Amino acid sequence: VIRFDRGNTDAHLKGSDQRALFDRGAEALEAILARRGPGSEMLGWLDLPNIPEGELRRIEDAAKRIQDENDCLVVIGIGGSYLGARSAIEALPAEARFPVIFAGHNLSSDYHARLVESLEGRRYSLCVISKSGTTTEPAIAFRILGARLVESLGRSEASKHIVAITDPKEGALRRAAERDGYLTFYIPPDVGGRFSVLSPVGLVPCAAAGIPVRELIQGAAEAMDRYTRSGPENNAMQYAVRRAGLFGQGIAIEVLSTFNPELGTLCEWWKQLTGESEGKGGKGLFPASALMTTDLHSLGQYLQQGARDILETFLVADEPRRTVTIPGTGDDQDGLEYLAGRTMSDINGKAFEGTRSAHEAGGLPVMTIELPAVTPAAIGTLFVFFEIAVAVSGHMLGINPFDQPGVEEYKRRMFELLGKPGSER
């Protein structure tokens, strides 16, 4: 179970009618659960933790086969077809991990050239993930990496090394998968990319990496039960209502600050989830993140004394996986003998507490989300916590949290510049 501490946000919400705010939050949750309101046709993610046993087995079997037949797996995808899996894989212990490499999440020729070189002489499978099946970045990476696989293994053997995760019926990737006989998993049509981490989109790469996906799903299922109940003990609601309320009080930015660098990509996933869901109609908190204590030496100054339109949410884990103790030296030349015998996580914890109280004193509203430890179940819990929260706060802002019409504008201009047939104005 994760803990939520609302910090000093009540004081920062003084200008608003808090009772009305919480009522609006409760109404938003009720509407979501009753599948009403903007984007209600895209609420299939609420059911994802109830994954059928047969589907889970198929995912585990595919993962085992990938591990048995290869030296690594290349996962091709971008946005919601990429960040969830990567955030879980990077958050969880790397011991005995099967190597998973990511591609198709940028258009850097250097990145992809290096990746192709690094695959030289290695046995690999491709897991290509795209709900639409037409997104440019992963489609280009798949074209390059798929062609290399065919070159080295021949078409029919290469097809056995490709797993496609896409729409059940539509799109170019679905057509290619059917034509060439790839192993396929589908993304339910009523689940949007950034809400798809608990579907095969996140589960296949995680299982291939060696993450016990049943524990992750278990954490998510329990969280779905907990965070869909109305009432003040629902922490996802507490968080959501405060975010929406603070937006109404002139806060423009939310910084998710973590003292656990292994949660860095999870912060990226959160940025996509919140930014793409809420940034519409001139509304929404701009999501940023900070990796502490590293960023205390870059962003710390701004957080302490810069413009006061920031909400800071701390994301921390109590227990480290491994203990590092500060050695005694017998002398005190570096002035650190007072720390001898103490653990690094104890010091990190004090850095967190000191930072939180300093930023609070500097005038920022602060809240804290605390995990007992970074485990698969805790990561599953966090995914659901944030998904419910952003659905609720999005509804409270009066926008549709499940579409992303603004993303099309850069694509239209890019396609025009690239001379894509049919893209001319």
Residue 39 sits in the site that holds ligand PA5 (CB under 6 A): no
Residue closest to ligand PA5, measured at CB: 193
Q: CB of residue 71 vs ligand PA5: minimum separation in angstroms?
A: 26
Stretch of 61-69, 75-83, 292-300, 344-352 contacting ligand PA5, by CB under 6 A: 75-83
Q: CB of residue 159 vs ligand PA5: minimum separation in angstroms?
A: 21
DSSP character string of 239-260: HHHHHHHHHTTT--EEEEEES-
Count of residues that bind ligand PA5 according to CB under 6 A: 14
Q: Which of 12, 86, 105, 131 binds ligand PA5 (CB under 6 A)?
A: 131
Q: Among 152, 167, 223, 230, which Cα is nearest to 199's?
A: 167
Q: Among 226, 192, 189, 221, which Cα is nearest to 49's?
A: 221
Q: CB of residue 329 vs ligand PA5: minimum separation in angstroms?
A: 51
Contact of 195 with 179, CB cutoff 8 Å = no
Residue 280 sits in the site that holds ligand PA5 (CB under 6 A): no
Residue 130 sits in the site that holds ligand PA5 (CB under 6 A): yes
For ligand PA5, the closer CB: 84 or 245: 84
Residue 194 sits in the site that holds ligand PA5 (CB under 6 A): yes
Residue 138 sits in the site that holds ligand PA5 (CB under 6 A): yes
Residue 205 sits in the site that holds ligand PA5 (CB under 6 A): no
Q: Which of 37, 39, 84, 193 binds ligand PA5 (CB under 6 A)?
A: 193
Stretch of 6-14, 44-52, 84-92, 129-137 contacting ligand PA5, by CB under 6 A: 129-137
Q: CB of residue 168 vs ligand PA5: minimum separation in angstroms?
A: 14
Distance CA 100, CA 110 (A): 19
Contact of 179 with 30, CB cutoff 8 Å = no
Q: CB of residue 73 vs ligand PA5: minimum separation in angstroms?
A: 18
Q: Among 96, 67, 79, 95, which Cα is nearest to 163's?
A: 67
Q: Among 294, 289, 310, 300, which Cα is nearest to 348's?
A: 294
Q: Which of 37, 79, 300, 401 binds ligand PA5 (CB under 6 A)?
A: 79
Residue 423 sits in the site that holds ligand PA5 (CB under 6 A): no
Q: CB of residue 198 vs ligand PA5: minimum separation in angstroms?
A: 14
For ligand PA5, the closer CB: 182 or 259: 182
Residue 245 sits in the site that holds ligand PA5 (CB under 6 A): no
Residue 18 sits in the site that holds ligand PA5 (CB under 6 A): no
H or E stretch at 200 = helix 200-209
Write the CA distances from 48 to 28, 192, 198, 200, integer angstroms.
20, 12, 6, 10
Distance CA 207, CA 300 (A): 37
- 198 burial level (CB within 10 Å; 0-12, 13-18, 19+): buried
Question: Could you list the active site residues?
Answer: 276, 297, 411
Chain Cα centroid distance, residue 108: 22
Enumerate residues 382-421 that contact ligand PA5 by CB under 6 A. 404
Residue 132 sits in the site that holds ligand PA5 (CB under 6 A): yes
Number of H helices, E strands in the chain: 16, 10
Site of tokens 């290469």: 158
Distance CA 269, CA 380 (A): 13
Residue 345 sits in the site that holds ligand PA5 (CB under 6 A): no
Distance CA 100, CA 207 (A): 10
Q: Which of 80, 84, 300, 401 binds ligand PA5 (CB under 6 A)?
A: 80
Q: What is the contact surface with ligand PA5 in residues (CB under 6 A)?
A: 78-81, 130-132, 135, 138, 192-194, 276, 404
